[in-house]
C-alpha cells in the first residue's frame, strides 16, 4: 500500500511538472539569429551565424541629444525605420506605434531611425513629434550618418541584406518593427502597418515583462515563427 502511495505521488508530481513546463513553454519567445532567417534578410557576412546582438550605435534624437546602446541597456525596446516626408506606410507605422506606446508607461523605448537624415534635421524631427503628438520621453526619432543607419539596418536589425539591389531611401524603408530584449537580442519582427500585428507585439512585450527573458531557440511550434518577414 505504501509503495502504491509513493508511486501515485511520483506520478502526480511528474504530471504537474509536465503541465507547468508546458505552460512555461507557451510564454517563451524565440531568440532570432541570422541562422534562423531566410538569406534574403541577412547580410552575406552574417549568414549561418547562430548568435546575434544589436551592435553598438550612437545617433541624435529630436531633442539634439545623443542616444546610444547605453541608453537602452537592460531595457526592452522596439525599432523601426521611417522618414518625415514619407506619404505612405510611415503614417501607419507612426499611428500604430502610438498604440504600442500608450499600452505601456516607461517600460519600453521606441527608436525610429530616419533614412533621410539630410532632410530630417533635429528641428524637423521635433516638428514631426509635435504634429503626430508623440510622447518624446521614451520615443526617440533618430538621425545620423546615412552609412551608419544602413549599417544598423543591415547588421543590426536585418532590415535589408544588401544595398546593391535597392533604390535610395527605399532600401530601408520597411514596414517591419523589431522587438529587442534587454540583452540586445531580437525577439520578434512585426508588420507595423497592421493593427493585428501590433496586438501581437503588445502581447509579446507583456510576455517579456511578466515572464522574464528566456534563453530559447525558435521552435517550429511557436506561432510567432509565422510573423517573421518572408522577404526584405
Query: pLDDT: is 53 or 43 the higher one?
Result: 53
Total domain count for the chain?
Answer: 1
8 in any annotated domain: no
156 in any annotated domain: yes
- Rounded Cα distance, 185 and 33, in Å: 8
13 in any annotated domain: no
User: The domain spanning residue 115 has which CATH number?
Assistant: 3.40.30.10
26 in any annotated domain: no
Give me the domain span that covers residue 113. 31-227
Geometric angle at alpha carbon 140, from 214 and 120, rounded to 5°: 135
Q: Per residue in 119-136, is it b (16+ CB within 10 Å) or e — as a string? A: ebbeebbbebbeebebee
Per-residue pLDDT tens over the stretch 160-204: 655 544 444 444 668 899 999 999 999 999 999 999 999 999 999
Per DSSP bridges, beta strands 76-82 and 66-68 are unpaired
Per-residue pLDDT tens over the stretch 147-166: 999 899 889 998 765 554 44
Q: Which residues pair with 82 in a beta bridge?
A: 114
Amino acid at each position: 500500500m505504501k509503495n502504491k502511495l509513493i508511486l501515485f505521488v511520483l506520478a502526480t508530481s511528474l504530471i504537474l511538472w509536465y503541465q507547468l513546463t508546458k505552460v512555461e513553454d507557451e510564454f517563451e519567445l524565440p531568440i532570432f539569429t541570422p541562422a534562423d532567417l531566410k538569406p534574403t534578410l541577412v547580410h552575406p557576412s552574417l549568414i549561418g551565424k547562430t548568435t546575434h546582438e544589436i551592435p553598438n550605435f550612437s545617433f541624435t534624437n529630436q531633442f539634439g541629444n545623443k542616444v546610444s546602446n547605453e541608453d537602452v541597456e537592460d531595457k526592452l525596446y522596439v525599432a523601426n525605420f521611417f522618414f518625415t516626408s514619407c506619404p505612405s506606410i510611415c503614417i501607419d507605422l507612426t499611428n500604430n506605434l502610438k498604440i504600442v506606446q500608450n499600452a505601456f508607461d516607461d517600460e519600453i523605448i521606441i527608436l525610429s531611425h530616419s533614412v533621410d537624415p539630410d532632410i530630417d534635421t533635429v528641428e524637423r524631427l521635433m516638428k514631426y513629434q509635435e504634429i503626430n503628438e508623440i510622447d518624446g520621453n521614451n520615443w526617440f526619432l533618430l538621425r545620423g550618418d546615412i552609412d551608419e543607419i544602413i549599417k544598423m539596418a543591415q547588421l543590426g536589425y536585418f532590415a535589408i541584406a544588401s544595398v546593391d539591389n535597392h533604390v535610395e531611401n527605399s532600401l530601408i524603408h520597411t514596414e517591419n518593427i523589431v522587438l529587442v530584449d534587454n540583452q540586445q537580442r531580437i525577439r520578434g519582427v512585426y508588420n507595423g502597418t497592421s493593427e493585428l500585428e501590433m496586438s501581437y507585439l503588445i502581447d509579446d512585450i507583456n510576455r517579456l515583462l511578466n515572464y522574464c527573458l528566456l534563453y530559447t531557440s525558435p521552435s517550429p511550434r511557436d506561432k510567432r515563427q509565422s510573423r517573421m518577414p518572408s522577404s526584405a
